[in-house]
């Protein structure tokens, strides 16, 4: 089968011919119909971090159909429509038992990080990592739910967004646009921030009451809050400029939710945090239950990370180049 594989940083992904994987006793093979292209792939190709081995098939947002099941698998059959939970969790450690599979202490792997991912015609995962897709949800719309949609759901849950909260979303890519939708669904008054005009337009369509450039953010938050500051800031870039902007507009009892990351550091004043009783919360990925929730929300028309376009797997490097250039309003999807 064809797979887009990472061999080394600074190099395009290679389109390799690799053996079709065989499922183990408790595993399922999925035929990939759609795979979302996430900014995480750029962290590999740009050398921010490396997968556990090379070559590695990238891609962690996958939707498709069951192609084969292991001898011990029950409840799944060939042809079933599925979304894939990309943390290949153990199911028995203290965090899995608490429903926090994203913090699993003994995962079999994480797609694209420590297990071959979704930029391939087929992939193998434990059967407990599958979520059933309703027939009315297209694969191209379902794939971005597996990270972009669920990352937004998890971050806003961690932030404790309540009706009437002013929520700033710093970044309007795939996760950012999903965060705008989810914050709006929870009753938030959403301000989206992007340097790109097309992304700002997409954010307004997603439900933001304002979509502004970074230079306009402070004035917009002041106007909307009467100078009180934002209740929640969802930070999706993780670079010094946006981190400083996030802390500057945060109000009393405000929650700064860190989702994006880079090699940059966050610098805060403990005095400022304490006096205003502000909180800094980190949010990584999502739980299995949140993927199930995202699928249900999407089926009800309440969560739909915008799909900016669908490309064949052979054009994976073009997709990554477009994402790196910052001119993608939503998620690009590969169709192996």
Same domain flag for 63 and 185: no
**What b-and-e string marks burial along 254-293, b requiring 16 or more CB atoms within 10 Å of the CB?**
bbbbbbbbeeeeeeeeeeebeeeebebeebebbbbbbbeb
Same domain flag for 142 and 34: yes
Whether 20 has a pLDDT exceeding 90, the answer reads yes
Output the six-digit token pair for 267: 């610098």
Tally of domains within the chain:
2
Domain boundary at 282, 299, 322, which?
Answer: 282
Q: Classify residue 253 by burial, with Cβ atoms within 10 Å: 0-12, 13-18, 19+.
A: exposed
Same domain flag for 99 and 10: yes
% of the chain surpassing 70 pLDDT: 100
Whether 49 has a pLDDT exceeding 90, the answer reads no
Same domain flag for 249 and 221: yes
Same domain flag for 119 and 216: no
Sole residue written with tokens 């698998």: 73
Whether 262 has a pLDDT exceeding 90, the answer reads no
Whether 172 has a pLDDT exceeding 90, the answer reads yes
Same domain flag for 290 and 142: yes
CATH number at residue 42: 3.90.180.10
Whether 304 has a pLDDT exceeding 90, the answer reads yes
CATH number at residue 216: 3.40.50.720
Whether 4 has a pLDDT exceeding 90, the answer reads yes
pLDDT score for 68: 98
Record the pTM.
Answer: 0.95
Query: Across residues 248-273, what is the average pLDDT?
Result: 94
Domain boundary at 264, 282, 300, which?
Answer: 282
Query: Across residues 13-24, what is the average pLDDT?
Result: 98
| Mean of per-residue pLDDT scores for the chain | 96
- Bond from prior residue into 55 cis (ω within 30 degrees of 0): yes
Same domain flag for 155 and 272: yes
Whether 327 has a pLDDT exceeding 90, the answer reads no
**DSSP string across 200-239:** HHHHHHHT-SEEE-HHHHHHHHHHHHTTS-EEEEEE-S-S
* CA dihedral over 304, 305, 310, 316, signed as positive or negative: negative
How many helices (H) and strands (E) the chain has is answered by: 11, 18
Cα 179 from Cα 256, distance rounded (Å)? 14
Cα 30 from Cα 52, distance rounded (Å)? 22
pLDDT digits (tens, 9 = 90+) for 90-125: 999 999 999 999 999 999 999 999 999 999 999 999
Output the six-digit token pair for 252: 């009393």
Whether 309 has a pLDDT exceeding 90, the answer reads yes
Domain boundary at 244, 267, 282, which?
Answer: 282
Whether 134 has a pLDDT exceeding 90, the answer reads yes
Same domain flag for 211 and 320: no
Distance of CA 194 to the CA centre of its chain: 17
Cα 166 from Cα 147, distance rounded (Å)? 24
Same domain flag for 10 and 98: yes
Whether 266 has a pLDDT exceeding 90, the answer reads yes
Q: Which residues contact 193 (CB under 8 A, 6 or more apart)?
A: 168, 169, 170, 171, 172, 211, 212, 213, 214, 217, 242, 245
| Structural domain that includes position 260 | 151-282
Same domain flag for 101 and 48: yes
Question: For the chain, how long is the longest CA-to-CA vector?
Answer: 62
pLDDT score for 263: 87
Same domain flag for 270 and 311: no
Closest CA to 182 of 151, 152, 209, 210: 152
pLDDT digits (tens, 9 = 90+) for 209-243: 999 999 999 999 999 999 999 999 999 999 999 99
Cα 242 from Cα 58, distance rounded (Å)? 27
Whether 67 has a pLDDT exceeding 90, the answer reads yes
pLDDT score for 71: 98
Q: Where are the alpha helices (DSSP H) in 165-213?
A: 174-185, 197-206
Query: Across residues 309-314, what is the average pLDDT?
Result: 97
Same domain flag for 94 and 218: no
Whether 326 has a pLDDT exceeding 90, the answer reads no
């Amino acid at each position: 089968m064809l797979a887009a594989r990472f061999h080394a940083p600074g190099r395009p992904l290679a389109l390799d011919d690799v053996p079709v994987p065989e499922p183990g006793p408790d595993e399922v093979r999925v035929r990939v119909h759609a795979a979302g292209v996430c900014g995480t792939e750029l962290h590999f190709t740009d050398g921010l971090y490396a997968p556990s081995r090379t070559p590695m098939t990238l891609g962690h947002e996958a939707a498709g159909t069951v192609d084969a099941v292991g001898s011990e698998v029950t409840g799944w059959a060939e042809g079933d429509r599925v979304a894939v939970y990309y943390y290949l969790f153990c199911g028995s450690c203290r965090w899995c038992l608490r429903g926090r599979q994203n913090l699993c202490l003994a995962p079999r792997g994480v797609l694209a990080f420590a297990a071959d991912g979704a930029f391939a015609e087929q992939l193998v995962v434990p059967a407990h990592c599958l979520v059933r897709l309703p027939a009315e949800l297209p694969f191209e719309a379902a794939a971005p739910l597996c990270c972009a949609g669920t990352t937004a759901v998890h971050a806003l849950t961690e932030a404790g967004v309540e009706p009437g909260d002013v929520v700033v979303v710093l970044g309007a890519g795939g996760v950012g646009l999903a965060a705008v939708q989810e914050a709006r669904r929870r009753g938030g008054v959403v301000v989206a921030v992007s340097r790109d005009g097309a992304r700002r337009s997409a954010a307004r369509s997603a439900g933001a009451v304002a979509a502004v450039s970074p230079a306009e953010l402070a004035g917009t938050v002041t106007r909307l809050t009467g100078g009180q500051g934002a209740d929640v800031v969802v930070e999706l870039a993780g670079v010094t400029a946006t981190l400083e902007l996030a802390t500057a507009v945060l109000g009393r009892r405000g929650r700064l939710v860190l989702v994006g990351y880079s090699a940059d550091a966050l610098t805060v004043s403990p005095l400022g945090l304490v006096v205003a009783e502000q909180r800094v919360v980190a949010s990584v990925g999502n739980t299995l239950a949140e993927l199930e929730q995202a699928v249900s929300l999407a089926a009800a028309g309440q969560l739909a990370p915008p799909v900016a376009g669908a490309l064949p797997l052979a054009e994976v490097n073009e997709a990554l180049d477009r994402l790196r250039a910052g001119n993608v309003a939503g998620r690009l999807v590969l169709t192996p």
